[in-house]
Structure 1
């Protein structure tokens, strides 16, 4: 056999080997490599995670880790791990998985109805990587508060309840900075002017809206309640808002888990900054996170001459309003007689 034939045979063998290797490699790269039954799953890669960390995180969802490892190495992913939240879909191949692990999927983060900034930190911390303590620390940072016109009592006013799109690995400081931008976007010149017409700053309006929010879940009644409270403020009367007394009880006892359905006379005399029976004007901060309808009710209140209101026994969830104390006394007695008949202790 001459040299030319030998070279030809060797070449054919090498090409065949390379083709077989190529087919094996293509199979490893492009054949399905997932083992979960759901249509899709999300995996979370913490900040500063290593490639070994990633392999532990994704291993419950990948059929053949050697295939994934091969592609990750070829694509340079093993030396360039990306933190965040990543979407894997059923039947993905190794190439698609590695590609997906570089595409950070945002989180739809929602919050509302939080009574304290501590509660908000816990709520947000359950949805992104930053924990509640780091979030709370960033919210209460003294330099940040001073620069933006807040203090620890009223900083809850900065957070506008809504659904926001953020990355899961957003840091506490970056989340806080996003929220101050959202606050400024919400408080347009038009809204600021509306607040000023009521004699309020944006923070004042939020504090009052938190009381309106707690007074009634009926959105159609909130402008009327806001009108009553503004009438009291203009008349130099105390707000005498039961929700502020409830908040004061919780804050004084440091127990925000308790459910208080009834306020007694002894509660109204309690010495506390949030007791609006004892103190004129607004309390030091919001007693809850008001929703947008409560804020809009304060900015566009009903013009009325009502000074008093109490819960209605005929229209559950609504209130009876009065312009005179005599009329209010009759309404209040009806409610008092009814609640006594229900034997509500607290």
Structure 2
């Protein structure tokens, strides 16, 4: 009887072990399926994690990029097991289609940030630039402006506040989302040096200009015309005036001096404004760029073909193009046609 009971006990024990093993295997399969293999991401997206975030805020961010509430819950369970701390893992993380809960959680827990593409173009002022950049990176507009308006910071970058717009070259750049304002400016300085190294610097010297002066002239050219095929002609005209010691008499500089780029008609009162930027009253280039010049405008100055033009006036068809003139009398005829059209349209 003892042997029979013993054999029966062994069978029961083995059966229990087998049942436990089956349960464990099934559990492991379920965990692997739902946490390791099943996709929780439907399409490519970015998850932005802020250091001050609460669990609820992280939940909300994950809900925007994961395919279902249960997927969010699974990722959060894994993050808890991985001791994820938003304060230590602030950043931007790209999730790709097909990623599992485990892959998403591991990416965040390891701090595997994805660089973000930061673009700025068609920017007039430093204030606008700071706002545009802050919209795309973690730091605030005020944090960046505090540096841009600091004379010592500008000097360390090799500029003054007046010439600082020349530092920035409109384009698309890659940064980590958590880059500091200081790191952002240092990268802009490296990009500036890279842009001007070699041929462009030689071209500027050939025209008797420094890179900052090229940027200053390019900013005026770009405000005068938005027609790429006309920029070189406008640049050549202003170079002629500089060589002759004539005032540039560029309307955009008057608008800058007035602080109003929306002016559609420049009047005598505007021309009388006392400002180093009013090129009707001072000769030579203004103290610095009147906007952040595009690379297209910079290259138009560097590569312009010499011409004999001294005067220009907007075309009366309001096409955005200009009539150019060599003589004052020719310019007067062009200007009269434009003034008549302004009056006809009631533009004051």
Q: Same fold (TM over 0.5)?
A: yes
Unmatched 5+ stretches in structure 1: 251-255
Match 1:276 to one of 261, 279, 284: 279
> Equivalences for 1:31-110 in 2 at 5 Å?
32=38, 34=40, 39-47=43-51, 49=53, 54-60=58-64, 61=66, 62-64=68-70, 65-77=72-84, 82-89=89-96, 92-101=99-108, 102-110=111-119
- Is residue 212–residue 226 contact of structure 1 (8 Å, CA) maintained in 2? yes
Shift of 1:26: 2.2
> Equivalences for 1:319-338 in 2 at 5 Å?
319-338=322-341
> Equivalences for 1:304-315 in 2 at 5 Å?
304-313=307-316
Match 2:189 to one of 157, 168, 180: 180
Over the aligned positions, Cα root-mean-square deviation in angstroms equals 2.5
Of 22-31 and 170-179, deviating more is 22-31
Shift of 1:200: 1.2
> Equivalences for 1:193-342 in 2 at 5 Å?
193-250=202-259, 259-313=262-316, 316-342=319-345
Q: Secondary structure at the match of 2:76?
A: helix
Alpha carbons of structure 1 residues 133 and 78: separation in structure 2 relative to 1, 3 Å: closer
Q: Distance in 2 between matches of 1:179 and 1:47?
A: 26
Of 115-124 and 303-312, deviating more is 303-312
Aligned residues between the structures: 337
Of 64-73 and 128-137, deviating more is 64-73
Query: Higher Cα Rg: structure 1 or 2?
Result: 2
Alpha carbons of structure 1 residues 276 and 80: separation in structure 2 relative to 1, 3 Å: closer
Shift of 1:140: 3.1
Q: Distance in 2 between matches of 1:240 and 1:308?
A: 9
Q: Which residue does the alignment assign to 1:13? A: 19
Q: Distance in 1 between matches of 2:228 and 2:272?
A: 30
- Is residue 49–residue 86 contact of structure 2 (8 Å, CA) maintained in 1? no
Of 198-207 and 88-97, deviating more is 88-97
Shift of 1:216: 0.9
1:23 paired with 2:29, answer: yes
